[in-house]
């Protein structure tokens, strides 16, 4: 029976796995452990590489997921798949030093802490692996704000390397927002009772091979986390992002329309059609960058298919919008109210369809 499960979420980490298992084995002498690799159908064959490792070493297990993406849900599913009493979460790219695990485990199993966080920013740590001074400063700032919010005195609440009792993570799982951003912050704010936390200094290394998948800016990540905590219960975070992007798209639409209709003297219908297309394309691009950063479509083929799908979705949404607004207006509802209702229905419809058919499973 393993004492400790190490959850390794992976997305295109094929080359990093075998050396990481070797390092875990060296670091964890005397501790019984298993590694659970949770792979989201990586294109580079990470899951096959993981299964090949598992054939040679029964301590390695693999969960492969299809049609889904997201770090937070990968971590939760890994934790639900182990019977080990303790669980550690770490990057599979060698940025997190496995040599810290025994000390982290000792703090939690010895009753000193409920959760141990490997910090990039406490005295004795170094954040060398954070590429660029800008990213490091942004990260420190976000951390200070996060501390104020969660009321915890942590130097690195956005760390991706931590250890806790598996049962605690499982019991919090239904309350995690799971939007796919920083899961530690999510765990800290989901817990009703304050958690006892200790930190251990981490020498944050550069990633060994492959590229970062979480290249959204930390400031954006943080704002999303903030919104999610304060208002996510009322209007779901992803829908709020989608609607905000839509509102910016209205601005793009008006700008293009003004340019073509007023300045270039095109006919209104043509100008309106081109403006609509420009706004849809802009919205697709921005949603792909921000709203669905964790499921971003990459590569020319996928982006083109997504773009076409998004335009088709929006066309259906526009029909629903116009139909409802027309119906309400004909029944004597004030025209502004009718238009507003149409816009809301159109937005909800677009969101529902595109989250499923453009950035979802199909
Ligand atoms: N299963 C799964 N793993 C992911 C996903 N996104 C990132 N990862 C993995 O999570 C870890 C952290 O991501 P990484 O790209 O290193 O982020 P960074 O350290 O912030 O640059 C790595 O092991 C990634 O392979 C995802 O959507 N699903
Ligand atoms: Mg990393």
pLDDT string in tens for the chain (362-residue length):
899 999 999 999 999 999 999 999 999 998 999 999 999 999 899 999 999 999 999 999 999 998 777 788 899 999 999 999 999 999 999 999 999 999 999 999 999 999 999 998 888 888 776 766 666 676 677 777 777 666 777 888 788 999 999 999 999 998 887 665 578 888 887 888 888 999 999 998 888 877 766 555 656 777 777 787 778 778 888 899 999 999 999 999 899 989 998 888 888 888 888 998 999 999 999 999 888 887 888 889 999 999 999 999 999 988 888 889 889 989 988 888 888 898 889 899 999 999 888 988 64
Q: First vs last Cα of the chain: how many Å apart? A: 39
| Residues with a CB atom less than 6 Å from ligand 1 | 9-11, 13, 38-40, 69-71, 74, 91-93, 95, 160, 207, 212-214, 294
Choose the residue to mutate in 9, 40, 218 for probing ligand 1, maximizing ligand atoms within 8 Å of C-beta.
9
Domain span at residue 73?
4-231
Total domains in the chain come to 2
Question: Which residues crowd ion ligand 2, with CB under 5 Å?
Answer: 91, 93, 95
Ligand number nearest CA of 46 is 1
**Domain check: are 125 and 249 in the same one?**
no
**Domain check: are 170 and 220 in the same one?**
yes
DSSP per-residue string spanning 11-79: SS-HHHHHHHHHHHHHHTTTS-EEEEEEE---TT-HHHHHHHHHHH-TTEEEEE-SS---HHHHHHHHH
**Domain check: are 287 and 223 in the same one?**
no
**Domain check: are 295 and 218 in the same one?**
no
CATH number of the domain enclosing 18 = 3.90.550.10
**Domain check: are 83 and 156 in the same one?**
yes
Q: In the structure encoding, which two tokens stand for residue 74, read together? A: 């990968």
Report yes or no on whether pTM surpasses 0.95.
Answer: no
User: Of 162, 197, 231, which marks where a domain is finished?
Assistant: 231
Cα 151 to ligand 2 centre (Å): 26
Residue 362 inside a domain? The answer is: no
**Domain check: are 299 and 219 in the same one?**
no
**Domain check: are 227 and 244 in the same one?**
no
DSSP per-residue string spanning 88-156: EE--TTS-S-GGGHHHHHHHHHTTS-SEEEEESSSTT-B-TTS-SHHHHHHHHHHHHHHHHHHT---S-
CA within 13 Å, CB half, 239: 16
Choose the residue to mutate in 213, 218, 220 for probing ligand 1, maximizing ligand atoms within 8 Å of C-beta.
213
Token pair 């709020």: residue: 240
Cα 82 to ligand 1 centre (Å): 20
- CA angle in degrees (0–180, nearest 5) for 130-39-242: 70
């Amino acid at each position: 029976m393993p004492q400790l499960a190490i959850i390794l979420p992976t997305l295109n980490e094929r080359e990093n796995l075998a050396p990481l298992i070797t390092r875990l084995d060296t670091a964890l002498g005397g501790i019984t452990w298993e590694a659970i690799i949770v792979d989201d159908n990586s294109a580079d064959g990470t899951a096959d590489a993981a299964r090949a490792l598992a054939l040679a070493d029964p301590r390695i297990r693999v969960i492969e997921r299809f049609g889904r993406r997201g770090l937070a849900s990968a971590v939760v599913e890994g934790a639900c798949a182990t019977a080990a009493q303790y669980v550690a979460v770490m990057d599979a790219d060698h940025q997190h030093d496995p040599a810290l695990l025994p000390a982290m485990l000792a703090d939690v199993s010895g009753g000193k802490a409920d959760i141990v966080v490997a910090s990039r920013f406490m005295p004795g740590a170094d954040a060398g692996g954070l590429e660029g001074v800008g990213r490091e400063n942004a990260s420190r700032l976000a951390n200070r704000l996060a501390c104020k919010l969660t009321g915890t005195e942590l130097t690195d609440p956005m760390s991706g390397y931590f250890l806790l009792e598996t049962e605690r993570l499982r019991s919090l799982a239904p309350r995690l927002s799971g939007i796919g951003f920083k899961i530690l912050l999510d765990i800290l704010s989901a817990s009703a009772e304050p958690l006892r936390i200790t930190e251990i200094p981490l020498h944050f290394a550069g990633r060994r091979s492959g590229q970062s998948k979480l290249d959204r800016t930390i400031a954006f990540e943080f704002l999303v986390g903030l919104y999610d905590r304060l208002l996510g219960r009322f209007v779901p975070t992803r829908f709020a992002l989608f609607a905000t992007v839509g509102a910016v798209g209205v601005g793009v639409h008006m700008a293009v329309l003004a340019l073509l209709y007023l300045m270039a003297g095109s006919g209104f219908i043509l100008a309106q059609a081109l403006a609509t297309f420009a706004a849809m394309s802009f919205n697709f691009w921005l949603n792909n960058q921000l709203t669905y950063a964790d499921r971003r479509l990459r590569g020319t083929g996928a982006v083109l298919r997504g773009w076409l799908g998004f335009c088709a979705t929006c066309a259906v949404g526009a029909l629903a919008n116009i139909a409802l607004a027309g119906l309400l207006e004909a029944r004597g509802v004030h025209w502004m109210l009718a238009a507003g209702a149409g816009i809301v229905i159109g937005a909800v419809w677009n969101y529902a369809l595109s989250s499923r058919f453009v950035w979802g499973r199909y």
